[in-house]
Structure 1
Amino acid sequence: MHPAKALIFTLFPGTLAVAAETAPAAPATDLAGSLGQMVFGLVVVIALLVGCLWVIKRLSSPHGSAGLLKVLGATAVGPRERVVLVEAGEKVLVLGVAPGSVRTLHIMDRGELPTGGAANTPGVAGAADFSAWLKKSLDRRHDAS
């Protein structure tokens, strides 16, 4: 036996009996308690996720006049340039969008916008109709100036 242990047992003779009686026992597992704790933690995490999603949805909703703008369509006219139709109230804006600039190409009433079956379906036919309409609209603008 180690001398330090022998000294402790001689100074405190009751510690040997207590040490013998309190041998480490196998830990008792409480399955119901562990399962309850796990389910509670899972519910808390899911509640936090739902709460965060609700906050993100509330913060990302449009405020004020931003809710009145609606992008009707867009087409690429170059590698980084686009023509975009934007509905703002009763007016429809034809915008030219390039890196670093947005220019108004034409302003019209909502009723002037062509409404055809092919224009509403995505695909080549709708893009061709839009291209023809844009060319005609720009020609009218140049003739008026």
Structure 2
Amino acid sequence: MLKIRSCKRQAIVLAAVASGPASAAPPADMNIATTLAALMLVVVVILFLAWLLKRMKLPGIQGSDSAMRILRQLPVGQRERIVLLQVGEEQMLVGITQQNISLISKLEQPLSVDTGASGGEFASQLTNLLRKHDKK
């Protein structure tokens, strides 16, 4: 009789251990909520990076038209600037405001502009800095 009771107790203990606690598995809505939150975070990060790239106006990302190039820009206000354009063989000085774009002057003598300084200045400085850092 003692063996039967101990076998029943062992069977009850084994059944309780095998079933495990009910709170061990997370509920299904918790998995869906965390998945949706992670997805929304990824979408927000992608949209922020796209906005940031648009604001940076990197020359490598924008389409390059060799017939028309912006050589230099000079901000003169919050949203106003003076721009030196190269159109074919001519150079033009243009004023840009929020409402319009005005031709200030066509330059009779084209200004000499370093081609490496306009777009690759940051890249060349970064490369030099990385080379100096690697040598140390």
Task: Give the TM-score range, shorter chain.
Answer: 0.3 to 0.5
Structure with greater helix percent: 1
Q: Tell which structure's C-alpha radius of gyration is larger.
A: 1
What is the TM-score with the length of structure 1 in the denominator?
Answer: 0.34
Ranked by relative contact order (alpha carbons within 8 Å, sequence separation 6 or more), the top structure is: 2
